[in-house]
Homo-oligomer: A and B are copies of this chain.
């Protein structure tokens, strides 16, 4: 299992113009492969801020994944900031330049702005971008791995699944499943959650989420596990879900079945 910090770079995230769906996408992909995202940050397009955040993120995790700031404009400065922050030379990577060239429209010139997308820290490897022009980047820095991807969701999504293979394969499998209960207060059920988690001594994690939909209040109880195998994870989660269902019904809750579960939470 690798621990991961995710840095999302771009003022638009801090103005509320853009909802950070990239974070949820990467977090889900990494978690489903048995890795653990321990921290995420949204950062301004300011070189000093990117450097401070990078150092914090590196102190928290074995791998740092960044999105945003790889494009041709003045405020795209992720790779330059990483180079500067880690004391590495930033220079045109010929492989990256080929990748940029290969994505240019027929007959288009290699301008300075386009060449900018081929600058990488020394020792880095470009990651091909099948959905856009700016290549991503993979950098091994001591024992740490840093990977950078574009902020455009379509491009990021095309690159993440394959790139996560650069992390050591996790020795753990992640599994989660939820039950949804009607007529049960989170505050009354919370001692049960405590007891169950103690009973399973850290092998499972139970999180309760109060939800509402169409004026109806529903309590989601989500059970998750990082286990040695997918089978063991499924078994642990199924066992504790059975206990949760029993106790919830004893307390007067009604377990919702598949079709009864609302699709749109408020």
**Of B14, B40, B154, the contact of A27 (CB 8 Å cutoff):** B14
Interchain CB contact under 8 A, B113 and A190: yes
Interchain CB contact under 8 A, B73 and A186: yes
Interchain CB contact under 8 A, A193 and B74: yes
CB distance from A111 to the nearest CB of B (A): 6
Report if A89 contacts B (CB, 8 A).
no
Measured between beta carbons, the chain B residues less than 8 angstroms from A108 are: 185
Report if A17 contacts B (CB, 8 A).
yes
**Of B154, B186, B224, the contact of A72 (CB 8 Å cutoff):** B186
**Of B21, B30, B209, the contact of A19 (CB 8 Å cutoff):** B21
CB distance from A263 to the nearest CB of B (A): 15
Report if A194 contacts B (CB, 8 A).
yes
Q: Given A74-B194, A190-B113: A27 and B39 within 8 A (CB)?
A: no
Interchain CB contact under 8 A, B44 and A49: no
For A14, A25, A75, A153, the residue with the greatest tally of chain B CB atoms inside 10 Å of its CB is A14
- How many copies of this chain does one complex carry? 2
Q: Given A42-B40, A56-B56, A197-B74: A23 and B25 within 8 A (CB)?
A: no
Measured between beta carbons, the chain B residues less than 8 angstroms from A114 are: 187
Bound-state CA distance A205–B31 (Å) is 37
Closest to A76 in B: B190
Interchain CB contact under 8 A, A208 and B19: no
Measured between beta carbons, the chain B residues less than 8 angstroms from A73 are: 186, 190, 193-194, 207-208
Q: Given A39-B14, A207-B12: A188 and B26 within 8 A (CB)?
A: no
Measured between beta carbons, the chain B residues less than 8 angstroms from A13 are: 23-24, 27, 40
Measured between beta carbons, the chain B residues less than 8 angstroms from A27 are: 13-16
Report if A141 contacts B (CB, 8 A).
no
What is A's interface to B at a CB cutoff of 8 Å? 11-21, 23-31, 37-44, 49, 53, 56, 71-75, 105, 108, 111-114, 117, 132-133, 152-154, 176, 185-188, 190-191, 193-194, 197, 205, 207-210, 212, 222, 224, 266
